[in-house]
Amino acid sequence: MADPGEARRRPSLTSPTYAVRAPLAAWLRAEADVAARREPRPRLLDVGCGTKPYAPFFAGNVAEYVGVDVSNPEAELEGTVEEIPVPDGTFDLVLCTQTLEHANDPARAVHELRRVVAPGGRVLASTHGVQVYHPNPDDLWRWTHAGLERLFRENGAWSDVLVAPSSGTTACLGMLVATYLDLLAKRARVRPLGSPVIAAVNAVARGVDRALPPLSTPQPGTIFANYHVTATP
């Protein structure tokens, strides 16, 4: 059977969510290299792990890779991000990708992420600025960079919180166009015909953002699909 995580780790330009998935994979791949250099064999906790699509980036360099999720057979531990079933300070690296928007209580979730990370460790989280409604099982929240930074700073004693948009304003607008093009093509039963158009939209959006860096810097008038958070205790 094809590895379901492959599309997350190597997202195609034909994916309507390319603007979220490609930067997320690149970020985690780079962070896995950083983790391998920072400390020998860190313990890694993946909260809201889903199919653990990014585990291969870390495999080989971690002492253990433990997934937590709500009723998911692929998770080692059943639990929520609001009540993570592990003792305080037991993991050097804590991932929480594309999960905070599904949490009933994001403030409590951030407190929990802080509680379980070991001194000297890091939390790597990602969540949406803009995205279509996608319940899993709920879909409750969206953030700005400022709101997400405040959520972290006000919930737990962090020495540093860095929030970065994952891609630019044009990529975000392109993602919405691509999402509805895909939907339209699916409804018309001509989905494969939509793929080259979606790839073109994604490529042009990426090019425009690269050519105009202010579109990727949080300031009035910008809009972002996703954010990456690096939080250090």
Ligand X SMILES: C[S@@+](CC[C@H](N)C(=O)[O-])C[C@H]1O[C@@H](n2cnc3c(N)ncnc32)[C@H](O)[C@@H]1O
Q: Which is nearer to ligand X, 103 or 151 (CB)?
A: 103
- Encoded one letter per residue, x for contact with ligand X by CB under 6 A and - for no contact, window 73-92 reads -------xxx----------
Q: How many helices (H) and strands (E) does the chain have?
A: 7, 7
DSSP annotation of 92 reads E
Please say whether the dihedral angle defined by the alpha carbons of residues 223, 224, 228 and 229, taken in this order, is positive or negative.
positive
| Out of 50, 129, 165, 233, the residue judged to bind ligand X by CB under 6 A | 50
Span near ligand X by CB under 6 A; candidates 10-18, 45-53, 180-188, 190-198: 45-53
CB of 70 to ligand X, least distance (A): 5
Query: What end-to-end distance do the CA atoms of the chain give, in Å?
Result: 40
| Out of 31, 69, 182, 209, the residue judged to bind ligand X by CB under 6 A | 69
| Out of 11, 23, 42, 48, the residue judged to bind ligand X by CB under 6 A | 48
What is the rounded CA–CA span in Å between residue 131 and residue 75?
A: 25
Q: Report if residue 66 touches ligand X, rule: CB under 6 A.
A: no
Enclosing H/E stretch for 29: helix 18-38
- Contacts with ligand X by CB under 6 A: the residue count is 18
Q: Which is nearer to ligand X, 43 or 102 (CB)?
A: 102
Which token pair is 223? 């809009």
What is the rounded CA–CA span in Å between residue 200 and residue 12?
A: 12
What is the rounded CA–CA span in Å between residue 176 and residue 45?
A: 32
Other CB atoms within 10 A of residue 16 CB: 23
CB of 190 to ligand X, least distance (A): 27
CB of 230 to ligand X, least distance (A): 16
What is the rounded CA–CA span in Å between residue 103 and residue 54?
A: 20
| Out of 8, 43, 114, 206, the residue judged to bind ligand X by CB under 6 A | 8
For residues 94-153, which are near ligand X according to CB under 6 A?
97-99, 102-103, 136
Q: Which is nearer to ligand X, 21 or 206 (CB)?
A: 21
CB-count exposure of residue 79 (10 Å: 0-12, 13-18, 19+): middle
Q: Which residues bind ligand X (CB under 6 A)?
A: 8, 47-50, 53, 69-70, 72, 80-82, 97-99, 102-103, 136
